Amino acid sequence: MGRKSSTRKVKSLRDPSAKMSKSDPQAMATINITDSPDDIALKVRRAVTDFTSEVTFDPETRPGVSNLVTIHAAMAMINVEEALSQARGLDTGAYKKLVTEAVVQRLTPIREEIERLRSDHAHLEGVLAQGTRRARELAAPVLREVRQRVGFC
């Protein structure tokens, strides 16, 4: 299958010269794991491309379209060549729909699990209590040693 695409290369949807970042002030620049399918579709549809309709991969001269290819490859877990093969015959508008499908398919199960966990307050409280107990167990010997060295014991 070849080398997989790297998500380290994903760029902002609004400024393909900058890295995609959750701290970007432009909400439309970043796809978040918890975005709804409609939000993802809107963000991808509005992603910056250019006036050439063919889908190609050339990060220097076509950074916006190349970014979409990178996102598609990463989300579909294929390499760039395979993503380009799937894009053959599509214009950038149609390709954005394909990219959207790949992103939604990959992120929906994750988003749904996050929502399920967030709504299960008893489980979250249990995880927090278990973490608190474990932290105290790990800290106890260190605290004993500190108390001894400082002279509190």
pLDDT, tens digit, 9 for 90 and up, residues 113-137: 999 999 999 999 999 999 999 999 9
pTM for the model: 0.80
What average pLDDT score do residues 7-27 get? Answer: 88
Helix (H) or strand (E) holding 146: helix 121-150
Across the chain, the runs of DSSP E, i.e. the strands, are: none
Q: Is 13 exposed, middle or buried (0-12, 13-18, 19+ CB in 10 A)?
A: buried
| Per-residue model confidence as pLDDT tens digits over 31-44 | 999 999 999 999 99
Distance CA 102, CA 88 (A): 16
Distance CA 32, CA 47 (A): 14
